[in-house]
Amino acid sequence: MRIQIWKSLLMGGVVACFTLSPSNAIDMDLTIKHLGDGQSIIRSDKTKRYLLLPIEEKAGDAQFYLISDNDVVQTFSIRLAIDHVDYFVPLDISFYDIKKLSFNIRSVPDSAVCWKEIKLSDEFDKTNREQYRPLYHFSPEYGWMNDPNGMVYKDGEYHLFYQYNPYASIWGNMHWGHAVSKDLIHWEHLPVALAPDGLGTIFSGSCVIDKDNTAGFGAGAMIAFYTSAGERQTQSMAYSLDNGRTFKKYSRNPVLTSTVRDFRDPKVFWHAETGKWIMVLAAGQEIQIYSSSDLKHWEMESAFGEGQGAHGGTWECPDLVQLPVKGTELKKWVMICNLSPGGPSGGSATQYFVGEFDGKKFINESAPEVIKWMDWGKDHYATVTWSNAPENRKIALAWMSNWTYANSVPTYQFRSSNSIPRELYLYTWKGETYMASVPVGEVESLRGKAVKKKAFKVDHTYNIESLFSGNNGAYEIEMTVKNVNAKEIVMQLYNSKGDEVDFSYNLETEIFSIDRTKSGNVDFGGGFSAVTIAPIEKQDEYKLRLLVDKASIEAFDGDGKFVMTNLVFPQEPYNSMSFYSKGGKFNVTSLTIYKLGK
């Protein structure tokens, strides 16, 4: 339907008055004709793979229409450069006959710099240009990424799809990007899996493997569920018979609709006890639960959430997963529920509820006012788990950013990376069941030679000038701290530019904190400059594991009972470490550093 509207708009204005005559073309292969009122049309006779589009992030949104043989075949919004070029993005036009193509653009003044810069090319240079690109966390080669989507395992490959804008490193034009890995650490980038269509852009969702062909697309089909984000949000499906390399959208989409405005992020899984597929999705301030026998027809079973947990923001990206309770034979269901804003340190965060699920209804076992956070940092959002993982592994992945500043973090070529994949389990403490997260074991394969520091005592301060030589900003620190009589145990990572991050165990207030207020570049707004805190128990010994990767620090308590994930943008890697004690002494009984590299 959308395509029809676009077609008629174009017929009325642009296409009708077009005559091809070279005007101010700079790339000699392109002919650009300005039509007044910010409208322009570009044509060429030269066959090349890409049209390279110059982007200025602060420019307003222009509309781009790719027209082939008089039909709109693709359209997106794009911040074409007005004053200066921040970077280029490629539009792959190799599928089309250039002689039948035109590029119609709206809302860009004739004086804009983009007209001089736009060009055809057979190459698009994806070589990394970013100081802050992580080395062992997943990030897109270029463009914007938010939520991880559709994670599923099949035939030896972990698939990761993700919310992707290929036309700028800021949110918009949502597609599903795609990558695969054999070990959850080394990723191979694949072409975009799902692109916007007449029903809308492609918001978050999940994948399942339909082993028994319940949907009729074929046994073992990989089936994706996503939100079609048009004027309203509806749920759609697509299937792949070639291990995710290509998807075909189901011709009777959408498969689920509602009058609720925020109605999105379907997560589907097989519920063996009832022999049905279950879908959980966010609907306003609650999570709706649906069931199906064929993945195409869905029946509402119940809703969860009213009066439960934190409601400081929109509920998004739910997941429902059964986890073992450590040290017992028990398993319990966990409803993961991301919300933004309303997190413990402001903005986006992941909460969860522990309880029972019978295939119809989820019952929270805690009092409704109890709030449980999966990660206490500012940069852990849109967390969901892998489907069909081998050995029944329960592996979660989060987007490592926060909606309050995600669009303005200091990178250009790409924006955002994911957390390290984390294995989940439950444990019981003071009568409540909580979720622990530990980095997947595969991370250890990245370790270089261990640098073991001698044990030392901290009475006031202790300095380690150099963590290890050749520090490129990707490393891991494991330490054990034994308290003697300190009231506060403080560790600091710092560099020669004066950037520092402070980690503290305050034994009087029973709080662990990370202070990134002086961590480097913190001035890009959105409340980035912050101290994040988590409750801890007063103990004689703490184990802490830090995963550092260029622009992120994930702090794991020894067995994952608390995690705190925070971005940092230091001018150079932190290669020094200080220890401070307040009000007494403590001992660092082990300190091991590993360079982490691929």
**Catalytic (active-site) positions:** 147
Residues 62, 382, 397, 536: which binds ligand FRU (CB under 6 A)? Answer: 382
Q: Which is nearer to ligand FRU, 267 or 595 (CB)?
A: 267
Q: Which is nearer to ligand FRU, 175 or 595 (CB)?
A: 175
Binding of ligand FRU at residue 162 (CB under 6 A)? no
Binding of ligand FRU at residue 317 (CB under 6 A)? yes
Q: Which is nearer to ligand FRU, 316 or 488 (CB)?
A: 316
Q: Which is nearer to ligand FRU, 204 or 492 (CB)?
A: 204
Q: Which is nearer to ligand FRU, 382 or 501 (CB)?
A: 382
Q: How far is the CB of 38 from ligand FRU (least distance, A)?
A: 28
Q: How far is the CB of 530 from ligand FRU (least distance, A)?
A: 19
Q: Give the helix/strand (H/E) hosting 36.
A: strand 30-36
The SS3 call for residue 82 is: coil
Q: Which is nearer to ligand FRU, 104 or 404 (CB)?
A: 404
d(CA 362, CA 343): 23
Q: Which is nearer to ligand FRU, 146 or 471 (CB)?
A: 146
CB 553 within 8 A of CB 395: no
CB 177 within 8 A of CB 169: no
Q: Which is nearer to ligand FRU, 163 or 495 (CB)?
A: 163
Q: How far apart are the first and last CA of the chain?
A: 47
Beta bridge partners of 549: 474
Binding of ligand FRU at residue 146 (CB under 6 A)? yes
Q: How far is the CB of 163 from ligand FRU (least distance, A)?
A: 4
- Side chain identity, residue 257: T
Binding of ligand FRU at residue 227 (CB under 6 A)? yes
3-state SS, 498-553, equals: CCEEEEEEECCCCEEEEECCCCCCCCCCCCCCCEEEEECCCCCEEEEEEEEECCEE
Binding of ligand FRU at residue 379 (CB under 6 A)? no
Q: Which is nearer to ligand FRU, 132 or 225 (CB)?
A: 225
Binding mask 465-504 for ligand FRU (x = CB under 6 A): ----------------------------------------
CB atoms within 10 A of CB 344: 20
CB 260 within 8 A of CB 282: no
Q: How far is the CB of 203 from ligand FRU (least distance, A)?
A: 3
Beta bridge partners of 206: 225
Binding mask 244-273 for ligand FRU (x = CB under 6 A): --------------------xx--------
d(CA 133, CA 145): 13
Distance of CA 101 to the CA centre of its chain: 34
What number of chain residues touch ligand FRU (CB under 6 A)?
A: 12
The SS3 call for residue 168 is: coil
d(CA 320, CA 396): 12
Tokens of 237: 């499906």
**Nearest to 347, CA basis, from 328, 375, 387:** 375
Q: How far is the CB of 344 from ligand FRU (least distance, A)?
A: 17
Residue whose entry in the numeric block shows the structure tokens 């390290």: 420
Binding of ligand FRU at residue 175 (CB under 6 A)? no
The torsion defined by the Cα of 498, 503, 505 and 510, in degrees rounded to 10, comes to 110
Binding mask 194-213 for ligand FRU (x = CB under 6 A): ---------xx---------
Q: How far is the CB of 147 from ligand FRU (least distance, A)?
A: 5
Residues 174, 349, 409, 555: which binds ligand FRU (CB under 6 A)? Answer: 174
Q: How far is the CB of 376 from ligand FRU (least distance, A)?
A: 19
Residues 56, 316, 488, 515: which binds ligand FRU (CB under 6 A)? Answer: 316
Q: Give the helix/strand (H/E) hosting 4.
A: helix 2-12
CB 514 within 8 A of CB 553: yes
**Nearest to 509, CA basis, from 485, 481, 536, 482:** 536
Binding of ligand FRU at residue 39 (CB under 6 A)? no
> What is the number of H-type helices and E-type strands within the chain?
2, 41
Q: Which is nearer to ligand FRU, 338 or 587 (CB)?
A: 338
Q: How far is the CB of 398 from ligand FRU (least distance, A)?
A: 10
d(CA 314, CA 296): 27
Residue whose entry in the numeric block shows the structure tokens 């080669």: 141
d(CA 512, CA 587): 18
The SS3 call for residue 311 is: coil
Binding of ligand FRU at residue 147 (CB under 6 A)? yes
Distance of CA 48 to the CA centre of its chain: 33
Q: How far is the CB of 245 from ligand FRU (least distance, A)?
A: 23
Residue whose entry in the numeric block shows the structure tokens 């698009």: 124
Q: How far is the CB of 146 from ligand FRU (least distance, A)?
A: 5
Residues 102, 104, 163, 519: which binds ligand FRU (CB under 6 A)? Answer: 163
**Nearest to 41, CA basis, from 50, 49, 32:** 32
Binding of ligand FRU at residue 319 (CB under 6 A)? no
Q: Which is nearer to ligand FRU, 339 or 477 (CB)?
A: 339
**Nearest to 66, CA basis, from 46, 50, 83:** 50
**Dihedral over Cα of 40, 45, 48, 49: its sign:** positive
Looking only at the bridges linking them, the beta strands covering 276-283 and 263-271 are antiparallel
Q: How far is the CB of 196 from ligand FRU (least distance, A)?
A: 12
Residues that bind ligand FRU (CB under 6 A): 146-147, 163, 174, 203-204, 227, 264-265, 316-317, 382
